[in-house]
Amino acid sequence: GDSVTQTEGPVTVSESESLIINCTYSATSIAYPNLFWYVRYPGEGLQLLLKVITAGQKGSSRGFEATYNKETTSFHLQKASVQESDSAVYYCALGSSNTNKVVFGTGTRLQVLP
C-alpha cells in the first residue's frame, strides 16, 4: 500500500544549526502523488507548512525547503538555520486527488535548544 517513512524523533538541534528531516514515500496506488509537510506547533492545530505537486519542484515556507524527488521517492525537509520557534512536530504526507486519501508519516518531534 501507500506509505510514508520519516525520521524518528525526537530530533534535538541548537539554534542556528542546520536541519534535515528525512521523508521517503511509497506510492503503489497513486500515479501522480502530491507531497506535503504539515506542522503542529505547541498548543496549536495541525497546519500545512509546504506542498509540492509536481516531481522535480521545490516548495518553501518559513525558511524550510523540500524537493520532490521522484527518482529517490524522497521529500526531505531542510532548513539552513533553525530557530527556537521552529520547535514542533513535523509530518510528511502523501496525497492523491484520485482517491481522496492522504497518508501521513509518524511525525518527527523537533526541539531547538537556545
Partner 1 sequence: AQTIHQWPVAEIKAVGSPLSLGCTIKGKSSPNLYWYWQATGGTLQQLFYSITVGQVESVVQLNLSASRPKDDQFILSTEKLLLSHSGFYLCAWSLGVENTLYFGAGTRLSVL
By CB under 8 A, name the binding residues for partner 1: 34, 36, 38, 45-48, 51, 53, 91, 93, 95-97, 100-107
Q: Are 66 and 78 in contact (CB under 8 A)?
A: yes
Q: Tell me the closest approach of the beta carbon of residue 51 to partner 1, in angstroms.
A: 6
Q: Which is nearer to partner 1, 51 or 76 (CB)?
A: 51
**Residue 39 cell numbers, joined:** 506542522
Q: Tell me the closest approach of the beta carbon of residue 16 to partner 1, in angstroms.
A: 30
Q: Which is nearer to partner 1, 25 or 91 (CB)?
A: 91
Q: Tell me the closest approach of the beta carbon of residue 85 to partner 1, in angstroms.
A: 20
Q: Which is nearer to partner 1, 5 or 69 (CB)?
A: 5
Integer Cα distance of 111 and 105 in angstroms: 18
Q: Tell me the closest approach of the beta carbon of residue 41 to partner 1, in angstroms.
A: 13
Q: Strands across the sheet with 19-21, in order? A: 19-21, 77-79, 64-67, 58-61
Integer Cα distance of 64 and 86 in angstroms: 10
37-55 CB burial, b ≥16 within 10 A, e <16: bbbbeeeeeeeebbbbeee
Q: Which is nearer to partner 1, 75 or 82 (CB)?
A: 75
